Each structure stands twice: as C-alpha cells, then as structure tokens.
Amino acid sequence: MMVGSLMRRMVVPCRKKAPLRHRISFTTTTHDSHASQILMSPSLVSLDLPDVWAPNSSHFQVPSPGGNFSNEQTAAVINGLMIADEIRPRIASEVRRMQDSIGEVPGLAVILVGERRDSQTYVRNKIIACEEVGIVSTVTELPDDCTEDELLNAVASFNVDPSVHGILVQLPLPQHLDVGKISDVLSLEKDVDGFHPVNIGNLAMRGREPLFISCTPKGCIELLIRSGIEIMGKKAVVIGRSNIVGLPASLLLQRHHATVSVVHAFTKNPAQITREADILITAVGMPNLVRGNWLKPGVVVVDVGTNPIEDASCECGYRLMGDVCFEEAVKVASAITPVPGGVGPMTIAMLLSNTLDAAKRAHSFT
C-alpha cells in the first residue's frame, strides 16, 4: 500500500468557503444554522433548481442536411395504440370476472383542479377508457383557486370510500398547491399513479416491489417488452428527471438491468451521452430537442414528450409533437414510438391496469 508515502500531497479541508453554488445553497438554509455549522452539505430541497432547457444553445443546432445518416427510414414504428388495444380487452375481461365472482368492480376517483384544457382532455380520455373496460370512475372538479385543505379533504374522502380503489389527482396543479402534500395524504393502497415516496423508494430498491409503478414509465417498459426489445445489459439514457416520468423510468430501467444514465438541463453536451444509448427515453417537454445527430444508429427511441404546437391546419388549432425530431430519428433508430400514438395510449392502459390491481388487492381477489 502506498497510502503512507502519498500522504504528503493532501487535500486540505476547505475551511474558508464552499464553491459558489454551494454558498448559494447555504444562504437559502441559514435558518438551519446549527446543522450547517457541522456539515457543509446543503439541504436537498435547497438544491432543487428548475430544469430549464435552453433551446437556443449550441446543443439545439439543426444538423446539416444529410449529415452522416441515410435518407431511408431505418426505424420500425412502435404502435402504442395497437399494443394498448391488445391490453385493454384483457383488463375488461378481468373486471367482468371480478364482478361475476364477488360482485365488485374497480373504482377510480379522478380529481381535476382548474380548467387547463390539456388536463381536461387527459381526464376525459381516462374516463372514457375506464368506461370501456367496466371500471367505475368519478371526476371531482375543483376551482383553480381552491384551497389546499379543500383538495386534501377531497383526497381524504376517497381514501375512506370503499368503492374507490384508485385515486388520481391530475397534474400539473396550480402553483399554490403542494403536490408533495397530496402524495403524503393519498392512501398508499390507492396511489395508482405511483407517486407516493414509498412507491418510488420500493421501485428504486432491489428486493422490494412497489404497490404501483407510475403509469407512463410502466407503459414505456411494457412497450419495449412487447416489441421484443431486450433491456438487460443495454445502455439506456433517460432525458429528463421529473418525479412522475424521468425518475421512475430510470429506476425501472435499472431494475431491468440496463446501464442507465440520466440527462437533464444541467448536463453539459447531452448529445455526447445520448449518442451512446441503445435505448433512449425522453420526457422533457421540448419539441424537437432530440435531433438525428443525438442518436446512435440502431437506437430504440421512446418519446414521452407530448408538446402541443399551434397549427391552424388542424381542427383543434394545434398538433402534438414529441421531444424527438421524428423525421430525423426515423432514419437513424431501429425502432421509435410516434407522438401521438406511442406512449400516450399505454399510459392510460397502465392506469386501468393499476386500478384493477388496486381493486383486486383491496378485495383479496386473485
């Protein structure tokens, strides 16, 4: 061991001041003065900077026409609509079997706060999907300016309602409402969105099983498996680290033994990392963030982004685009999910599956 002889070159503990960014964090935690005297590590919440992607940075330059890629389509398009269409009848069949056997049907309570048009659309689609498979659903609409207590009371009432097996609070919430508090109050056994920290912790930890896996990441993995795409041993890159998609997607890929890297807004040169990916999942909310030159030939691309883009030629005035430049990616990837028609239908199918699971668990029905 050379440790002894090397001890002359030591890092002297940094007594005077921490690097700039940590000093910034300290200023936000001065109320916790005693703790910060002992450790220099800041509180984690004080580190929570928003992931703002810079669309005009050099990372987002349009590649030169042609580039290194052929003009031919190389990618198979993974049809999420078709795969979800395969899954839903099986859920409906299980719902019928449950009703015939024990006279109970799964119940889903959806809480919608405010009048965001996209949220209204998502909720409507979920309700229709419930109806189609025989899940009883209710929607509670609260005004945009409702108090936190009103929202928490709504959740609490469904927690104790035995006809409700799953509770879903449609996100995003208005700024004044704390999504963390909602998760804390929402019954773990009814957390069909899988956002409760216990479910996230159990998703992350080997040897453990969450009661529910968040619907969108679960849908992504189901898409990969049903498309015959191997995950184990593959390099997977997740772009985005939101609590509801990016984080659980990265944890789930790791449970499937992928080697996972997470790219976010503080990543320098993200394309360098994404170009190593065998499997790429994007969940950022930036149309065309991922260009063809971000991709390794043969990569499998799962595009969670669902970005409305104004388009007067469409009946509703907008069209949906993913985070990935589809026209370029389809010439590089081996498989890709389209937007719309890729991950979206799977998210809803997984919500139905989670609600069915919740009801089966509540009634010990197997």
In the chain, the largest separation of any two C-alpha atoms, in whole Å, equals 77
Q: Which is nearer to a second copy, 40 or 362 (CB)?
A: 40
Q: Which is nearer to a second copy, 69 or 141 (CB)?
A: 69
Check if 272 is active-site.
Answer: no
Catalytic residue among 191, 193, 323, 357: 193
Catalytic residue among 126, 190, 234, 360: 126
Check if 296 is active-site.
Answer: no
| Residues 93 and 352 sit within 8 Å (Cβ to Cβ) | no
CA distances from 242 to 43, 48, 195, 245, 262 (A): 19, 12, 11, 6, 11
Within 8 A by CB and 6+ apart from 91, the residues are 133, 349, 352, 353, 356
Task: Give φ, ψ of 301 to 5 degrees.
Answer: -110, 125
User: At closest approach, how far in Å is the CB of 186 from a second copy?
Assistant: 14
Catalytic residue among 16, 61, 118, 170: 170
Tokens of 326: 């589809």
Q: How far apart are CA 85 and CA 215, in angstroms?
A: 16
Check if 193 is active-site.
Answer: yes
Q: Which is nearer to a second copy, 107 or 338 (CB)?
A: 338
User: At closest approach, how far in Å is the CB of 239 from a second copy?
Assistant: 11
User: At closest approach, how far in Å is the CB of 145 from a second copy?
Assistant: 22
User: At closest approach, how far in Å is the CB of 115 from a second copy?
Assistant: 25
Task: Give φ, ψ of 260 to 5 degrees.
Answer: -105, 135
Q: Which is nearer to a second copy, 72 or 149 (CB)?
A: 72
| Residues 320 and 307 sit within 8 Å (Cβ to Cβ) | yes
Catalytic residues: 126, 170, 193
